[in-house]
Structure 1
């Protein structure tokens, strides 16, 4: 069954890496990208996603600030905060809002642990 994933990161390189990892295991999935939280919120208004990766540090609204609004429109999506900020307070905030936590740098193992290998 084809799934839909939204990759939210201001870094084009990070978005490309995440997409490449996901598509290598799930070539039939639909992959959307957003370079900011605002663009992600726009995408979430028109489409339902199965998975969302959300960067923490982006210009404008950060990932943790955008997460509650995204969750409100994406009730069934599995959402992960992908960030190099691995402080326990950041992890706890992510957990408190219901996000998975994936540490950067982007790795195949980290992304596939989130979206699944099959």
Structure 2
């Protein structure tokens, strides 16, 4: 069975970079991309990914609001918040939702840490 990772970021460049680094490390994964929370929920309506990597600041639904929706629909889903928004309040709320916090910029070390959530 293929491992599926959902990447949600309003920046197409960030999604492309993140997908590229993931594919270099784990060529066996399927990547589903979304540019906002609404699109993300549509993409996972019928099949939950194994891991969702979410940006915090997006138009409409924030990454943490999206995390709440995803957690309610898919309780076993592993969630990562990959963001430049490093406020302590964001980190606390992420922890309370069971979302692992990661700080941008996107790089191999950060992606390797995120991929460990699949182990």
Alignment TM class, shorter chain as reference = over 0.9
Is residue 52 from structure 1 mapped to residue 44 from structure 2 by the alignment?
no
Residue 91 of structure 1: SS of its match in structure 2?
helix
Unaligned runs of 5+ in 1: none
TM-score (ref. length: structure 2): 0.92
1:69 maps to what in 2? 69
Instruction: Quote the residue 1:29 is aligned against.
Output: 29
Q: How high is the TM-score relative to the length of structure 1?
A: 0.93
The match for 1:86 is 86
Corresponding residue for residue 43 of structure 1: 43
Q: How many residues align?
A: 118
Which structure 2 segments of 5+ residues have no match?
none
CA contact (8 A) 1:44 1:73 kept: no
> CA RMSD for the aligned pairs?
1.6
Displacement after TM superposition at 1:47 (Å)? 1.4
